[in-house]
Chain A
Amino acid sequence: MDHPSFPRCLLAMALAGGLGLSGLAGAADTIKIGVAGPMTGGNAAFGEQFWSGATRAAEEINAAGGVNGQTIELVKGDDACEPKQAVAVANRLLDQDKVAAVIGHFCSSSTIPASEVYADAGVLVITPGSTNPKVTERGLPTVFRMCGRDDQQGPMAADFIIHKLKAKKIAVVHDKDTYGQGIADAMRARLKELKADKKEVLYEGLTRGEKDFNPLVTKIKGTGADVVYFGGLYNEAGPLLRQLRDQGVKATFVSGDGSLDPAIVTAAGGPKFVEGSYMTSVREARNIPAAKKVVEKFKAAGADPAGYTLYAYASLQSIAEAMKGTQSTDGKKLADWLKSHAVATVLGPKSWDAKGDLKESGFSIYIWGADGNYKEMAQK
C-alpha cells in the first residue's frame, strides 16, 4: 500500500505535464477571453449557446484582423450552475489561463460569487444572461451585463397579469434558485404596488431536477387559481405545465425568460400543453434588424442562434471594442470606457450606466402558438 502503483505514477506525471504545458501556452500574440457557464449539468443547453455565440464572434473578429494586432483565443469554463464550482472556475481562468476578460456566467447564483473573484483581480466580466438585480448592485466596477434585470422583468409580468389577463387568483411557483425566486419575488413586489397582493393564493417552491410536480399541481387545482406564475427554467416549467393540463387545470401559465426556449415543448411533451402560455424575456435577438446578417451566417453554418447565443456574441464584441478603444486589456480601463461609450453590437447600439446595467433593457412578452413556436407580442 505504501508504494504508489504504476498507473498512479503515470497519472501524476500526466497531471504535472499538463500544468507545465498550460504555463507555457500564454504566448503574447493572443488575448485569452474566458467563456464561463453551465457546459455540463442540467442547464448545459445555455452553456452551449454561450459557447456557440462567443466562438462565432471570435472567428469574425479574428478574420477582421483581431484586436490590437492580437487574435482572440477563447477558454471554456464549466460551472454547471454550481456556485462553488463557479468560484473555482473563476480562479482557474484567472490564475492558470490568465484571461484578460470573461463572458459569463449564466445562473445568477453562479455569476454573483464568481464576479467577486473577477472584480478582486480587476478583470472585466460581462454576463450575457444573469438577470438577478444583485449582479450589478454590489458596487463592483468591472461587472457588466448584456441583458435586463429581473426587477424590470418580474414587474412587467405582474402588470400583464393584472391589466391584460385580469387575474382573480394567482398561484406563484418558483424553483428556489436565485434567478427563479428572484423573478417571482420581483413579480410579487409589483403585485403589492398594484394593491393586488390579496389575489395571490399560493406561493411555493419546487425542487430543480425533479419531474413529478403532481402534488403541487393538485394543490394549485384546489386553490382555483386562474393564473399560474412560474419563476424558473424550462426543464421544470415543461413537466409542470403538462401536469397542470393533465389534471385539468385551465389557468393561464405565465413565466419568465428562463422558460422561453423551444426545448420547453419537448419538456412538456407537445405543443398542445404549451399553447396559450405567456412568457416575458429579453427582446428576441433573432428579430433585431441589426442581427440579420449574423443570423444568416449562423444558419448557413447549420446552427440556430437561439436564446442567449447572440447575447454572448454581443458580449465578446463589446469586450473587443473596449480593448480597441483603450489599446489595453486592463479591466479598470475597459470598464470606464464601456461606461462612457456606446458599442455597435449585433443587438444594436448598447451603452451602460455607472452600475454596469444596460441603459435600455428591453423586455418583451411572448405568446406560445399551437404550432409549438412563440411569437413576440407587439410593443406597447
Chain B
Amino acid sequence: MDWHILVQQLVNGLTLGSIYGLIAIGYTMVYGIIGMINFAHGDVYMLSAYVTAICLATLFSFGVNSLPFALLATLVMTMVITATYGWTIERIAYRPLRGSTRLAPLISAIGVSLVLQNGVQLSQGAKTQGVPSLIPTTLRFGEGDNFVQITLVQVMIILVSLSSMAALTWLIQRTSLGRQCRATQQDRRMAAILGINTDRIISTVFVIGAAMAAIAGVLVTLNYGSFDFYIGFVTGIKAFTAAVLGGIGSLPGAMLGGLILGLSEALFSGMVNTDYKDVFAFSLLVLVLIFRPTGLLGKPEVEKV
C-alpha cells in the first residue's frame, strides 16, 4: 500500500473517531454521575442534525450572507435548543424514576429514543434530508492522483473535539461546578446533605452532554451533508462502545475510545476488509474488557458499604 493511502486512512479514522468521541462524552458524563446509560443520547444527536439544517435554512432565508456568522449562530442556536431537549428529557423521563430500580430509567431511555425517532419521522418525514456543502475548502498534499486530502470541516471536527474534551476535563477537575459534579458522583446523598443541589447538578450534566451532541450534530451535518431520523442509532451504538472502550465515566477515556474505534475501523477497512470492520472493532472491545474490565482509563467501581 502506498504511503498516501495509509495517511489518508489515518485522516479518515481520526475524523470518524473524533465524532464518536464527541458523542461518547454525553454517554460517559451521564453514566459517571448517575450510573445510567442514556440510550436516547444518539437520538439527541440526530435531533441536533435536524435543528442545524432548520437553523441554517432560517438564517439564509432571512438574508444572512456572512457564512462564518451563520455557522456560529447555528452552532449556538443548535446547542441551546438541543440542550433544552436534554434538560427536558431528564426532567420528564428520568428524574421521576430516580428512586426506583436501576433498570427503570434504562427502559425509560429506550422509550425516549423511540419517541424521538418516530416523532422526527412523523414531523419531518422519513426521507433523507440534506444541506449543500457550505465549506468546500480542501487541503491536498501530494502530486497528481497520489494526494492526501483533508477538508477544512475535517480539521474543524478534530480540533473541536479535542478542545471540547480538554475544556470539559478542566471544568470537572478545576471549577466549583466540577467539584459538585464529582461529589454527586461519589455519594449523592452525602453531597445533598452537604448542601449541593444534586438534582440541579444532574440536570447540568444532561445539558452539557446534549450540547456536546449538538456540536457533533452541526459538524457531522457540515461534513456529510445528509442525515435522516435513523442516524442516531448506529452512531449512538458506536459512541457508546467508544465510551466503554475508553472507560465509562472518564472524559479523556471517551475521546481515546472514540479515536481507537475510528482508527481501527478505518485501518481495518482499508487494509483488510470492510465487511468485517465492525467485527474487528468489537473484538477489540472484548479483548480490552477481558484485560481491563473498566476500560482503558476507567477506575474500578468501589463497592460502597
Which of A111-119, A218-226, A348-356 binds B? A218-226
Give the distance to chain A from B99, nearest Cβ to Cβ, in Å: 13
Interface residues of B in 1-25 (CB under 8 A from A): 1-2, 5, 8-9, 12-13, 15-16, 19
Q: B273 at interface (Cβ–Cβ under 8 A)?
A: yes
Binding stretch for chain A, among B145-153, B168-176, B195-203: B145-153
Are B145 and A248 in contact, CB atoms less than 8 angstroms apart? yes
B127 at interface by CB-CB < 8 Å: yes
User: Would you call B128 an interface residue if the criterion is a C-beta within 8 Å of the partner chain's C-beta atoms?
Assistant: yes
Closest B residue to A47 by CB, please name it: B126
Q: For residue A47, which residues in chain B have a CB less than 8 angstroms away from its CB? A: 126
Chain B residues with Cβ below 8 Å from A242 are 224-226
Q: Please tell me if the beta carbons of B126 and A235 are within 8 angstroms of each other in the complex.
A: no
Q: A296 contacts the other chain (Cβ, under 8 Å)? A: no
Query: Is residue B130 within 8 Å, beta carbon to beta carbon, of the partner chain?
Result: yes
Q: CB < 8 Å: which of B5, B129, B225, B266 contacts A221?
A: B5
Q: Which residue of B lies closest to A247 (CB)?
A: B149
Q: How far is the CA of A234 from the CA of B267 in the complex (A)?
A: 25
Complex Cα–Cα for A362 and B225 (A)? 35
Query: What separation, in Å, do the CA atoms of A141 and B263 have in the docked complex?
Result: 50
For residue B31, CB closer than 8 A to chain A, the reply is no
Pair B274/A269 contact, Cβ less than 8 Å: no
In the complex, per-residue mask of B15-41: 1 if CB is within 8 Å of any chain A CB, else 0 = 110010000000000000000000000
Give the shortest distance, in Å, between B161 (CB) and chain A (any CB): 15
**A266 is an interface residue with CB less than 8 A from chain B:** yes
CA distance A266 to B224 in the complex (A): 11
Name the distance in Å between A360's Cβ and chain B's nearest Cβ. 31
CA distance A51 to B269 in the complex (A): 38
Say whether B227 faces chain A, with CB atoms less than 8 Å apart. yes
Please determine whether B149 and A248 come into contact, CB atoms closer than 8 angstroms.
Answer: yes
Known: A44-B121, A248-B147. A235 touches B5 (CB 8 A): no
* Chain A residues within 8 Å of B12, by CB: 212, 214-215, 218
Give B225 Cβ to nearest chain A Cβ, in Å. 3
Q: Is A199 an interface residue (CB 8 A)?
A: no
Bound together, the chains give a CA A222 to CA B12 distance in angstroms of: 14
Is the CB–CB distance between B16 and A235 below 8 Å? no
Additional A-B contacts beyond A204-B275, A211-B226, A269-B226 (5; CB < 8 A) = A44-B126, A204-B273, A216-B274, A219-B274, A235-B228
Of the A-B pairs whose beta carbons lie under 8 Å apart in the complex, a sample of 6, sorted by A's number, is: A40-B126, A211-B224, A242-B224, A242-B225, A266-B129, A270-B133
